[in-house]
Amino acid sequence: MQADYVIVGAGSAGCALAYRLSESGASVLVIEHGGTDIGPFIQMPAALSYPMGMSRYDWGFQSEPEPHLGGRRLATPRGKVIGGSSSINGMVYVRGHAEDFNTWSDMGADSWSYANVLPYYKRMESWDSGGHGGDAEWRGKSGPLHVTRGPRENPLFQAFVDAGKQAGYALTDDYNGRQQEGFGPMEQTVYKGRRWSGANAYLRPAIKRYKCEVINAFAEKIIIKDGEAKGVQVSRGGNTEIITANREVIVAASSINSPKLLMLSGIGPAAHLAEHGIDVIADRAGVGQNLQDHLELYLQMASSQPITLYKHWNILSKALIGAQWLFTKTGLGASNQFESAAFVRSKAGIKYPDIQYHFLPMAIRYDGKAPAEGHGFQAHVGPMRSPSRGEITLRSNDPREAPKILFNYMAHEKDWEDFRNCIRLTREIFAQDAFKPFVKHEIQPGSALQSDDELNGFIKEHVESAYHPCGSCKMGSANDPMAVVDKDTKVIGVDRLRVADSSIFPQITNGNLNGPSIMTGEKAADHILGKDLLPASNAEPWINPNWETAQR
């Protein structure tokens, strides 16, 4: 088995890479351990809580006991399926803020500033606002990735945006356009009622049109000889095989599995590799370090009107929604139900948003397991740029063993302050006139909890991952001892080897990470092919002119 390019992982970035590299005429082989993504649990947007947590589709990782959260282990789902995490995620589409990418550039990722990445976002998108406004000139029209908006028919979606305005926040017609800051419609990777994953957008067309093949196998290590990556050792059907790369090996196996694979292959912190009896090929201290994530809380309100999705929380209604979706790809099943959003700044002196909201017209856990007391609605809220950093380390040198994942969540006093602030700002939004016809009382945290200590207790017990791990193979300048890849996504110290997925983010971006992960695959493909990068944009994103003196 051989190809010009061997890609490990058919996830968000891997699918985009497969499409762009094979489009050039090169042969591409994608190694994916997971199976097919065909079936309603994955393809039906409203079923999003099912594939996450199903061992068939999810690696089922868990963090180590988190020291600042009372030893809680937090679920760390990653897609083990064609499409990777884009096949099990919530389908929320966020590009990230312009300043996120300017920060990357400042951190040594040259040519990854906003001016450089915006053209790739436009190339990858096929954007349709469905007549709901938006910044058309900032968006792409003919890319593989369809981005749409939900119908926003439930009155609670508008109430959330109206409440934001009443509380004095800006409105934004398109948080993926010129102005991220404010309240407005949320976008989703859904097309014609189906989940529009990396597999549907990129991988299937690549397999149909070009020299691209997917093989179902488990990647054990990268074969490196004389400082060059030659291929990938996999196990398939009980046998060990070597898949040869004529040009390059590209690791796109997620922020959990990419550093693990590098370390198993001899690339990582020398002392840690030696501890596990692994020969050191490249001593890179940053492999597995710099791990970041977003945490969030659900603030839940009981509804005084029976208009929430709770009315569909029964077997009969679910069956009807499922049947309508199966036959027509329409109805409630055709949306992820995240249809209103907000990005706000937590205080004056913060240049760009550092808090994100997802609004949901039901009070329920993200995994779909436990609806709260009857009719209710909730805001998912969390800070965007925690100073806490964790690490991925090997448990052993056995490729089959899951790595140790320690996020080190809430390690800084700033994390606690930020979350208390999130709770208080959200309570203020729910107290606006727009919600008066709908709010009965606060379910969670419950209005009795007011002091810093009481809120800290609630945060410690209830904070959950938003499932945005990244940063564990940081991109930076070649002289940065903690950088793992350079600006061209080449692994520093090994030739013909790259990493291109969310693990290379120097710092986490605002919002959900599927969009930036796909963009990373798109842009990395041009670096790999040695093409001229798309011309930089001179578009000027909006920054609140009063950011130094006002919070809103």
* Predicted local distance difference test score (pLDDT) of residue 229: 98
Band (177; pLDDT cuts 50, 70, 90): very high
Express as a percent the part of the chain with pLDDT over 70.
Answer: 99
Same domain, 327 and 249: no
Residue 253 confidence (pLDDT) above 70: yes
Task: Dump pLDDT digits (tens) for 5-22.
Answer: 999 999 999 999 999 999
Same domain, 81 and 200: yes
DSSP string covering 86-119: GGTS--B-----HHHHHHHHHTT-TT-SHHHHHH
Is the residue at 522 inside a domain? yes
* Predicted local distance difference test score (pLDDT) of residue 367: 65
Same domain, 419 and 489: no
Same domain, 97 and 228: yes
Catalytic residue among 375, 412, 468, 527: 468
Is the residue at 174 inside a domain? yes
Same domain, 344 and 422: yes
* Predicted local distance difference test score (pLDDT) of residue 329: 96
* Predicted local distance difference test score (pLDDT) of residue 365: 73
Q: What is the mean pLDDT of residues 90-106?
A: 98
Do 440 and 303 contact (CB within 8 A), yes or no? Answer: yes
DSSP three-state, residue 147: strand
Number of other residues whose CB lies within 10 A of the CB of residue 70: 10
Q: What is the mean pLDDT of residues 529-547?
A: 98
Is the residue at 359 inside a domain? yes
Is the residue at 404 inside a domain? no
The two most distant CA atoms of the chain are separated, in Å, by 70
Angle of CA points 144, 149, 154, to nearest 5°: 155
Same domain, 326 and 304: yes
Residue 458 confidence (pLDDT) above 90: yes
The domain boundary, picked from 419, 441, 462, lies at 462
* CA–CA dist 197, 44 (Å, integer): 11
* CA–CA dist 251, 524 (Å, integer): 11
* Predicted local distance difference test score (pLDDT) of residue 341: 98
Is the residue at 550 inside a domain? no
Is the residue at 308 inside a domain? yes
Nearest in space to 367 (alpha carbons), one of 54, 36, 12: 54
Task: Dump pLDDT digits (tens) for 185-230.
Answer: 999 999 999 999 999 999 999 999 999 999 999 999 999 999 999 9
- Which CATH number characterizes residue 115's domain? 3.50.50.60
Query: Which of 170-184, 243-257, 353-367, 416-430 has the weakest average pLDDT?
Result: 353-367
Band (416; pLDDT cuts 50, 70, 90): very high
For 348, the domain range is 151-185+295-383+411-462
Is the residue at 140 inside a domain? no
* CA–CA dist 18, 29 (Å, integer): 8
Same domain, 100 and 209: yes
Share the mean pLDDT of the chain. Answer: 97
Query: Looking at the DSSP assignment, which residues form a beta bridge with residue 464?
Result: 296
Number of other residues whose CB lies within 10 A of the CB of residue 82: 27
Task: Dump pLDDT digits (tens) for 16-62.
Answer: 999 999 999 999 999 999 999 999 999 999 999 899 889 999 999 99
Q: What is the mean pLDDT of residues 64-72?
A: 98
Residue spans of alpha helices (H) in 147-289: 155-166, 198, 204-209, 254-264, 270-275
* CA–CA dist 96, 488 (Å, integer): 20
Residue 369 confidence (pLDDT) above 80: no
Residue 391 confidence (pLDDT) above 80: yes
Do 285 and 273 contact (CB within 8 A), yes or no? Answer: no
Same domain, 7 and 85: yes
* Predicted local distance difference test score (pLDDT) of residue 19: 98
* Predicted local distance difference test score (pLDDT) of residue 364: 87
Same domain, 226 and 110: yes
Band (131; pLDDT cuts 50, 70, 90): confident
Q: Is the peptide bond before 541 cis (omega within 30 degrees of 0)?
A: no
* Predicted local distance difference test score (pLDDT) of residue 368: 66
Is the residue at 401 inside a domain? no
Task: Give the rounded distance of the alpha carbon of 61 from its chain centre.
Answer: 16
Residue 256 confidence (pLDDT) above 80: yes
Identify whether 468 is a catalytic site residue.
yes
Same domain, 473 and 458: no
Same domain, 348 and 425: yes
Same domain, 164 and 116: no
* Predicted local distance difference test score (pLDDT) of residue 366: 62
What is the number of domains present in the chain?
2
- Which CATH number characterizes residue 158's domain? 3.30.410.40
Q: What is the mean pLDDT of residues 402-427?
A: 98
